[in-house]
């Protein structure tokens, strides 16, 4: 399963790419298994006569429409639903003709929780609820495979992102403090400032500034 690298930011790395659990395809597969043999049997039971061709054509049309609605459409929707986790974002994309998506910064995650019933636990999937500090503060993702592992990965990435931002902030503040320490009197270079090494009044004025008269 791939994800276009052009959609990633600079120095952004992929961590996980997921689709909803294949249990979503159970009903579509069941429809296929039931409709195809049933349509074949119904077409074979049509008696001979002038209406046989029309009757078999109608049966085939009904079967195709049913498969398109309850088998093909769910499969295409499942295939075009994708959850991507990078070291910076949680990316959600879904839709076939009308595509939509939502990105959530990893550093703004407040809480990640999951729940699954006994059947989902046996399959290794569940519902993931992600909360962040923003207008759309909560996102619910259903049928997430390896849901417990996904929760742990999101927590780890969120902690790492926060620590990175905090370290960058401290480094920035440290640079500002060092700039002040390097030139505590704001003397700089230029006329009347000197380097503090001159003799007499000029040297003292150059180091400590000009005296008031």
158-173 pLDDT per residue, tens: 988 888 767 666 766 6
Query: 171 with 103, same domain?
Result: yes
Q: Please say if the pLDDT value at position 200 is more than 60.
A: no
Query: 71 with 106, same domain?
Result: no
| Sequence-ordered strand ranges (E) for 78-172 | 82-86, 89-94, 100-105, 109-115, 125-132, 138-145
The string of pLDDT tens digits covering residues 99-122 is: 888 889 998 888 999 999 999 999
Q: How many domains does the chain have?
A: 2
The string of pLDDT tens digits covering residues 127-160 is: 999 998 765 678 899 999 999 999 999 999 998 8
Query: Does residue 125 lie in a domain region?
Result: yes
Mean pLDDT, to the nearest integer, of 25-39? 96
Query: 171 with 102, same domain?
Result: yes
Query: Does residue 190 lie in a domain region?
Result: no
Q: pTM value?
A: 0.71
Residue 113 belongs to domain spanning:
95-182
Query: 75 with 104, same domain?
Result: no
Mean pLDDT, to the nearest integer, of 162-190? 60
Mean of all residue pLDDT scores within the chain: 82
Query: Does residue 13 lie in a domain region?
Result: no
The tokens for 206 are: 């150059």
Query: Does residue 6 lie in a domain region?
Result: no
Distance CA 74, CA 25 (A): 7
């Amino acid at each position: 399963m791939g994800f276009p690298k052009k959609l990633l930011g600079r120095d952004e790395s992929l961590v996980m790419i997921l689709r909803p659990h294949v249990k979503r395809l159970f009903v579509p597969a069941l429809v296929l298994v039931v409709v195809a043999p049933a349509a074949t049997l119904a077409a074979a039971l049509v008696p001979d006569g002038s209406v046989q061709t029309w009757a078999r054509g109608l049966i085939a049309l009904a079967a195709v429409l049913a498969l398109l609605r309850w088998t093909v459409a769910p499969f295409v929707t499942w295939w075009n639903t994708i959850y991507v986790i990078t070291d910076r974002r949680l990316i959600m994309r879904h839709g076939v003709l009308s595509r939509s998506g939502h990105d959530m910064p990893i550093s703004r995650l407040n809480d990640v929780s999951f729940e699954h019933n006994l059947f989902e636990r046996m399959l290794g999937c569940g519902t993931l609820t992600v909360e962040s500090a923003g207008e759309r503060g909560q996102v619910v993702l259903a049928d997430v495979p390896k849901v417990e592992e996904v929760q742990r990965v999101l927590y780890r990435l969120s902690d790492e992102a926060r620590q990175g931002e905090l370290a960058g902030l401290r480094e920035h503040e440290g640079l500002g403090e060092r700039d002040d320490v390097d030139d505590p009197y704001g003397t700089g270079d230029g006329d009347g400032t000197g380097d503090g090494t001159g003799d007499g009044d000029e040297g003292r004025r150059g180091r400590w500034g000009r005296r008031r008269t």
